[in-house]
Amino acid sequence: MKFTNIQYNRHHERGCIMRKTYGYVRVSSQDQNEERQYLELIEFGIEEKYIYMDKLSGKDFNRPSYHQLVYKKIKPGDLLVIKSIDRLGRNYNEILNEWKYITKEKNVDIKILDMPLLDTDQSKDLIGTLIGDIVLQLLSFVAENERINIRQRQAEGIRAAKIRGVHFGRPKIDFPEDFGEIIYLWEKSELQSKEAIALSGFKYSTFYKKVKEYKEIMHKA
């Protein structure tokens, strides 16, 4: 039976509870057309008022609608439907963290339309749990490899910069030890913004502020 409304009865060990199904759409720029993602969620049976959407610029990954949905609106037992898994984050590490938070901490099911196996709502038995754990393990493996590759590129870039005579100082303030190196590689386009932010350990909204602070301190030094 396919539900065409966002609310339906779901049997639970404590009885019968009301459940809601939400959809999330993200496009990477104001010019990108969100219609395909949106229509697929509508065809799945989600009402328009329960579809949340973010339009982001290339450097801005603040997701007000996503945070409103995932951190405030959605409740345990609900279902989150998205077209593809990359809508959850910019890289595998971020996707993994969001997946864990939504499924483990919020106790919300996720259904990925482009990848039918990524459907924690499909089965609640041993097989369904096993599939979910395999997904987490796979995402963890890819995320770790991504971190290793970024670190390797950083090390190679720093070695090359030092050969060219570039000196990296460190201001006496709470910055990552290699923050100057990260900024240098980022500004030389040897690290993408998402990679530099991941290496710094800062949140997106904090990273650019810290870069400015760092430069001001180094300029006065």
Kindly list the catalytic residues: 28
> What is the rounded CA–CA span in Å between residue 186 and residue 41?
37
106 within 8 A of 118, measured Cβ to Cβ: no
Query: What is the Cα Rg of the chain in Å?
Result: 21
Report CA 60 to chain centroid distance, whole Å: 13
Q: What are phi and psi of 89, to 5 degrees?
A: -170, 175
Tell me if 28 sits within 8 A of 12, measured CB to CB: no
Q: CB neighbours of 186 closer than 8 A, spacing ≥ 6?
A: 192, 193, 195, 196
Q: Angle at which helices 126-163 and 193-200 pack, to 10 degrees?
A: 100
Q: At what angle do helices 204-220 and 193-200 cross, to 10 degrees?
A: 80
Q: Which two tokens stand for residue 58?
A: 């290339």
Q: Token digits for 167?
A: 């000196």
Closest Cα partner for 75 from 147, 10, 12, 20? 20
Name the nearest CA neighbour of 49 among 41, 59, 57: 41
